[in-house]
Structure 1
Amino acid sequence: MNDTAFATDAAIKSHIANWQRELGSVKRLSQNTLEAYSRDLGQFLNFLSAHCGGTVTIDTLNALRGADIRAFMAVRRQQSLGSRSLARALSALKSFFNHLEREGAVSTEALNTIRTPKMARSLPKALTVAEAKNTISTTAEMEERPWVAARDMAVLALCYGAGLRIAEALAITRSDLEDNSLRVTGKGGKVRLVPLIDSVRRSVKTYLELCPFKLWPDDPLFRGVRGGVLSPRLVQMRVVQLRAALGLPPSATPHALRHSFATHLLGRGGDLRAIQELLGHASLSTTQIYTAVDTDRLLESYRLAHPRA
């Protein structure tokens, strides 16, 4: 972790390496979360080095006070870091210090005195059914190469028609495909089986027929124009083009298609537990946010349509 290259001594560097291995192999955090946690810890240790005036050692961490951590949080807040990112940074620090305590290296209660920043409740912004369908069907008009158009349509169809995260869609291999379902590896390495509706299955089949590259069973299915693994950035850029063409708001993203999947299922009477399983949410409380989304949409329709509203 380069952020701590000049901030800590060798002992802490060794603990950091062990902590990162534990997060990856034991707790099975995603690569993005692991990188974010490592970055948060690096920023804290560099802050502590300047704050305390020297190399950070185990003794430095044992002497840590709540005021030191609050000072770090205040600096990060001044740097326009939002509450969600501050909460993640605090979570990263707690994870690292818990690791140190298990190793018998540090015993400190300083972190327990810090309250997690309050976060404004953020509701997913779903597209309408027509907007979601048009986003997928218009994709072919954005691309002259038939196989690339088919690829992008298949990826977006998986986001809306199967509720996949963009990273999940791009990680699919040929061996994950079954006749009427798809094996998806989600956050934390959790595997779930997602049924495929006919339109999604046809989109994937069309891409497979047109793709010019050899697709081995255990390699990612979706390929860039040079044959490498498709970058999520390219899919995001495609959706930016579609937003401009269709006049959609900035909130229309690949992930918004996943939100739309859940919102539309719930609006048609879908069971919340089933939607939880389809989305791969570990907790039902995460899925319950969509009940608020659906209620908001109903209230908005009421306000627009009712003669006494």
Structure 2
Amino acid sequence: MSLISPACRDALQNWLASKKALNGAANNTLTAYAGDVSEFLSFMTLHFGTPQGLGALQSISTADMRAWMAETRNSGTGARSLARKLSAVKSFYRWLAEREGFEPTAVLMARTPKFQKKLPRPLAADAAKAVLDTVELQSGSDWVAARDVAVVTLLYGCGLRISEALGLLGKDAPIATVLRVTGKGGKERIVPVIDTARTAVDRYLTLCPHPHEADGPLFRGVRGGALNPRIIQGVMAKTRAQLGLPATATPHALRHSFATHLLEAGGDLRSIQELLGHASLSTTQAYTAVDSAHLMDVYNRSHPKA
């Protein structure tokens, strides 16, 4: 931040505050925004040889934007990451332009680099079941094994993000037939909980040697603190290696699998959107991997005119 003028630093902080207040942006998202826009502003300082005040930012040209994008790519940043950075800069400029009364044409006209979107790779139903059956074999401690099974079962059985599962508190247990989950941006949603997941959590709680505290984390690390998501990622890595699954078989792939298997079973896409907590239906569509032949089969069996 030392390369950024005080005026720009204040503007950045005010923009981040507005993002949090108006859009409910998560802390991780705000950190990413802050880093991306700070890098941009720091580059412009070096590019012009002097810290850029708000007035100077208004005169940034198309050539300046190209120089930033070229330098960012040359530093090893991939097209996907550059697209994210550019999106953050454009969002900052839209806010700044409205506040300061100028046209941010050069910035907003900068073309987003093209990249191949990575489609989610859910597990096959039998592979997902094998994961649930194999996770407990990765630990020599009964309570740790039970903990890992409970977490993974929630990911696949309820479509939770790993952060949502590990964000559960002691007061959320015993798990009811429905669970109130706080997702991205602090948005809450209600998800049904399958009996298998409830049983897995109950078994973990019975074996866990650490105290069950209402305001403490539900899932504990071996020393009693909140369970680190890297532990579950490591457990999944060992499990997929044992089962011969690809590197795409991650904790998040279980969430993809939840959505895909529900859709394959005839679930409604809108309902699945609600269960996943997606704001956009297109995001839910990207989470599912059902082939066109299956979709046509569902259509032919379900449409009243078929």
TM-score of the two chains, using structure 1 as the length reference = 0.89
Maintained 8 Å contact 1:61/1:106? no
The equivalent position to 1:20 in structure 2, one of 7, 16, 28, is 16
Identity %: 49
Counterpart residue type for residue 193 of structure 1: I
Other structure's SS at 1:288 match = helix
Answer yes or no: is the 8 Å Cα contact 2:170–2:218 preserved in 1.
yes
Q: CA deviation at 1:98?
A: 2.4
Give the whole-Å Cα distance in 2 for the aligned partners of 1:127 and 1:62: 49
| CA displacement 1:195-237 (0-9 Å, x = unmatched) | 0111111111111222222232233311111111111111111
Aligned: 1:62 with 2:58:
yes
| Counterpart residue identity of residue 213, structure 2 | W
What is aligned with 1:160?
156
Pick aligned residue for 2:235 from 238, 251, 256: 238
Amino acid at match of 2:235: R
Alignment gaps of 5+ in structure 2: 296-306
Which of 217, 223, 226 lines up with 2:223 in the alignment?
226
The 5-angstrom pairing of residues 38-187 of structure 1 reads: 38-104=34-100, 107-177=103-173, 178-187=175-184
Q: What SS does the aligned partner of 1:119 have? A: coil
Aligned length, in residue pairs: 294
- Deviation, structure 1 residue 296: 6.5
Residues 4, 38 of structure 2: 8 Å contact kept: no
Superposed displacement of residue 290, structure 1: 4.7
Q: Which moved more, 1:276-285 or 1:116-125?
A: 116-125
1:266-281 map, 5 Å: 266-281=263-278
Partner Cα distance (1:280, 1:230) in 2: 23
2:285 matched to which residue of 1? 288
Residue 215 of structure 1 corresponds to 212
1:10-42 per-position Cα deviation (integer Å, ceiling 9, x unaligned): 121112222222222332112221111111112
Q: Which residue of 2 aligns with 1:255?
A: 252
Partner of 1:305: none
Q: How far does the alpha carbon of each residue in 1:243-272 deviate from its partner, in whole angstroms, 9 at most, with x for none? A: 111111111100011111111111111111
Q: For residue 25 of structure 1, what is the amino acid of its counterpart? A: A
- 2:33 maps to 37
Structure 1: any 5+ residue segments left out of the alignment?
300-309
SS at match of 2:291: helix
Is 1:203 the counterpart of 2:193 in the alignment?
no
Kept in 2: contact 1:163–1:279 (CA 8 A): yes
Q: How far does residue 43 in structure 1 lie from its aligned partner after superposition?
A: 1.3
Q: How many angstroms does 1:71 deviate by?
A: 1.5
Q: Give the AA of the match of 2:70.
A: A
Counterpart Cα distance in 1 of 2:22 and 2:221: 32
Contact 2:94 2:104 (C-alpha < 8 Å) held by counterparts: no
- Contact residue 37 and residue 88 of structure 1 kept, 8 A: no
Secondary structure, aligned partner of 2:100: coil
Cα offsets for 1:131-188 (capped at 9, x unmatched): 1111122122111111111111111111111001111111112334552011111111
Gap change, CA 1:71 and 1:278, over 3 Å in 2: same
Cα distance, 1:64 vs. partner? 0.8
Distance of 1:176 and 1:110 partners within structure 2: 50
Give the partner amino acid of 1:128: A
Return the alpha-carbon distance in structure 1 between the equivalents of residues 34 and 219 of structure 2: 29
1:8 equivalent in structure 2? 4
> Separation in 2 of the partners of 1:93 and 1:237?
34
CA distance change for structure 1 residues 170 and 229 in 2, over 3 Å: closer, same or farther? same
